């Protein structure tokens, strides 16, 4: 398949479908992919909080951004937070990947 045809086919996919394709390629090509990469999540992606965690300082239904993929199951998220700040004083905290869902 040539590059131009592949680009045209990718443009027809929804964001969710494109994430699945990317996640599949990452799994296939990179055996040591992080949990985020295996799910097709990347730094800068937007997520909704779907499980309450009083310790993290976020609220159910809040939108957060993946801030740092540290290779674990609790990456760092950026978002309005009364409990914690990131090292650069931005509000954020670590969350389990099961506590968020991607916003499509």
Which tens digits make up the pLDDT trace of 88-101? 677 778 889 999 99
> Which domain, by its residues, includes 83?
3-102
Q: What is the DSSP string of 26-60?
A: HHHH-TT--HHHHHT--TT-EEEE-S--TTTT--T
Does residue 43 surpass a pLDDT of 70?
yes
Per the structure, the count of domains in the chain is 1
User: What pLDDT digit, counting tens, does each position of 5-30 carry?
Assistant: 666 666 777 777 777 777 666 555 56
Query: Which sign does the torsion angle of CA 79, 103, 34, 97 carry?
Result: positive
If pLDDT is split at 50, 70 and 90, which confidence band does 1 have?
very low
Residue 50's pLDDT is 93
Average of pLDDT values for 75-98?
A: 79
The Cβ of residue 22 has, within 10 Å, a number of other Cβ atoms equal to 16
């Amino acid at each position: 398949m040539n590059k131009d045809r592949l680009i045209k086919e990718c443009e027809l996919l929804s964001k969710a479908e494109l994430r699945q394709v990317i996640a599949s390629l990452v799994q296939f090509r990179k055996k040591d992919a992080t949990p985020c990469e295996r799910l097709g999540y990347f730094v800068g992606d937007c997520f909704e909080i779907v499980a309450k965690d009083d310790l993290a300082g976020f609220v159910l239904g809040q939108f957060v951004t993946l801030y740092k993929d540290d290779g674990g199951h609790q990456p760092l998220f950026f978002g309005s937070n009364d409990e914690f700040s990131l090292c650069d004083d931005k509000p954020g905290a670590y969350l389990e990947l099961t506590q968020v869902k991607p916003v499509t």
